[in-house]
Homo-oligomer: A and B are copies of this chain.
Amino acid sequence: MHQLIDSLFMKEFSNSILSQRKDSAILKLGDEKIAFTTDTYVVDPIFFPGGDIGSLAVNGTINDISVCGAKPIFISLGLVIEEGLPKAVLDRVIKSVGAASRAAGVKVVTGDTKVVERGSADKIFINTSGIGKVSYENLSVGKIKPGDVVLVSGPIGDHAISVLSVREGIAFRAKVKSDSAPLNGLIFQALKVSKNIAFMRDPTRGGLATTLNEITKLSGFGIALEEKEIPVREGVREACELLGLDPLYLACEGRVVIIVSKNDAAKVLSAVRKSREGRAARIIGTVTKEHKGRVYLNTLAGSSRVLDMLSGEQLPRIC
C-alpha cells in the first residue's frame, strides 16, 4: 500500500523538492530558507505509557523539521473527531498538545476541526504540519562517506512496544514507556559542537533497520552495525520475544540516528548524552565502502547478516 502511494505521489507531484525525499521539504521563500513538513497521527490507543496522540503529533513534526537542520517555530493542528468523543478525552488531548508545544518552544498558530459521525473515524486523528527555519544547510546524504560513524540517541523500539502493550492488553515484567519526545534541543546541541555531521533521520516507521536502509540506498554506501552496541531495553526485548518481533524494525518517536565523521564522533556523542533524551546514546556502526546500499549486522553470535527493508505490512496505527 505504501509503495503504491509512494509511486502515485511521485508520478503526480514530481518536483525537485518532493524528490529530495527528506523528512521535511526544504524551500526557498523570498530570502528565507524554510523546512515544511506534515504528518497525520492515527495511533491506537490514543493514550499509552509515556505519551498520547497529542504530544506524539507535536513531537513527531518537531523532529521531522529538526533532523533537517531547521529550527521548528510554527505548527498547525488539524483534528478529525468522531462524534461522541467524551469532552474529557478531547480536553486531555488538547492540553497535551499545548504542553508539548510549550515544552519544545513552538507555537500552534492555526487549526481546523472536523467532526464526523460515529463510526466514520476512530476517536480522533491529528494532523500537524510544521514550519522551521533552516539553520544548518549542510545536512545531506551526499555528505556521507565511508568511515563515518553511526550514532543512535537512545534505546530503540520503546514507542512501538508501549503502544502495543496497551493495544494488545499485554503486561510485561518491565513496563515500557514510549520514547516520544521533542529532539530539537538535542539535535541543535549536536550540530553546535560539530561541523562534520553529514546526515540525520529519526527512525520512526519501520524502525532503525528501515531508516538505515533508506540511508544506504540514498548514499550508495553500506552500513555495518554492531549488535552488541545497539541499545534495547529489557522490556522491549522481552516483548519482542513474546510477540515475535524484531526490535530493529520497531518505530521510535524520540530517537535520532546521526551520521558523523569519525573524528567528531566522540564530541557529538558527549553533546547528545548531555540532553535528557540522549543520555543512553551509543555509537552503533560504521559507514562502509563495501556492501553498497545494504545494512549489515555483526551479531552477538559473531556472524553477520543483511538487514533488509521492512517487507510486508508493518505494525498498523503505531503513530
Contact A94 B8, beta carbon cutoff 8 Å = yes
Which residues 1-54 of A have a CB within 8 angstroms of B?
Answer: 1-2, 4-5, 8-9, 12-13, 15, 17-18, 24-25, 27, 29-32, 34, 36-42, 44
Residues of B close to A1: CB separation below 8 A: 81, 83, 115
On chain A, the number of residues with a Cβ less than 8 Å from chain B's Cβ atoms is 66
Bound form: Cα–Cα A47–B193 in Å: 53
Interface segment out of the listed A117-125, A139-147, A239-247: A117-125
Residues of B close to A184: CB separation below 8 A: none
Bound form: Cα–Cα A166–B74 in Å: 38
Contact B76 A38, beta carbon cutoff 8 Å = yes
A87 contacts which of B4, B25, B77 (Cβ < 8 Å)?
A: B4
Bound form: Cα–Cα A78–B44 in Å: 18
Residues of B close to A78: CB separation below 8 A: 38-40, 78, 127, 129
Contact B37 A110, beta carbon cutoff 8 Å = yes
Bound form: Cα–Cα A36–B34 in Å: 13
Bound form: Cα–Cα A74–B120 in Å: 30
- State whether the Cβ of A113 lies closer than 8 Å to any Cβ in chain B: yes
Bound form: Cα–Cα A53–B182 in Å: 33
Contact B5 A79, beta carbon cutoff 8 Å = yes
Contact A111 B38, beta carbon cutoff 8 Å = yes
A100-135 interface mask toward B, CB cutoff 8 Å, 1 = contact, 0 = none? 010000011111111111011110010101010100
Instruction: Given A32-B32, A36-B110, answer yes or no on A316-B12 (Cβ-Cβ < 8 Å).
Output: no
Most buried by B among A34, A77, A112: A112
A38 contacts which of B29, B110, B122 (Cβ < 8 Å)?
A: B110
Instruction: Given A17-B109, A76-B38, answer yes or no on A29-B29 (Cβ-Cβ < 8 Å).
Output: yes
Bound form: Cα–Cα A77–B13 in Å: 11
Residues of B close to A121: CB separation below 8 A: 42, 120-122, 125
Residues of B close to A18: CB separation below 8 A: 108-111
Contact A40 B112, beta carbon cutoff 8 Å = yes
Instruction: Given A36-B109, A125-B80, answer yes or no on A133-B30 (Cβ-Cβ < 8 Å).
Output: yes
- State whether the Cβ of A91 lies closer than 8 Å to any Cβ in chain B: yes
Residues of B close to A108: CB separation below 8 A: 12-13, 15, 18
Cβ contacts A to B, 23 pairs, < 8 Å: A1-B115, A5-B113, A12-B98, A13-B97, A15-B107, A17-B110, A25-B74, A25-B109, A25-B110, A29-B73, A30-B133, A38-B76, A38-B129, A39-B78, A39-B112, A40-B112, A40-B114, A42-B114, A80-B125, A116-B316, A117-B316, A125-B125, A127-B127
Chain A residues within CB distance 8 Å of chain B:
1-2, 4-5, 8-9, 12-13, 15, 17-18, 24-25, 27, 29-32, 34, 36-42, 44, 73-74, 76-81, 83, 87, 90-91, 94-95, 97-98, 101, 107-117, 119-122, 125, 127, 129, 131, 133, 316-317
Those 10 A-B pairs whose CB atoms lie nearest each other, nearest first: A38-B76, A129-B129, A12-B98, A25-B109, A127-B127, A120-B122, A13-B108, A25-B110, A40-B78, A17-B109
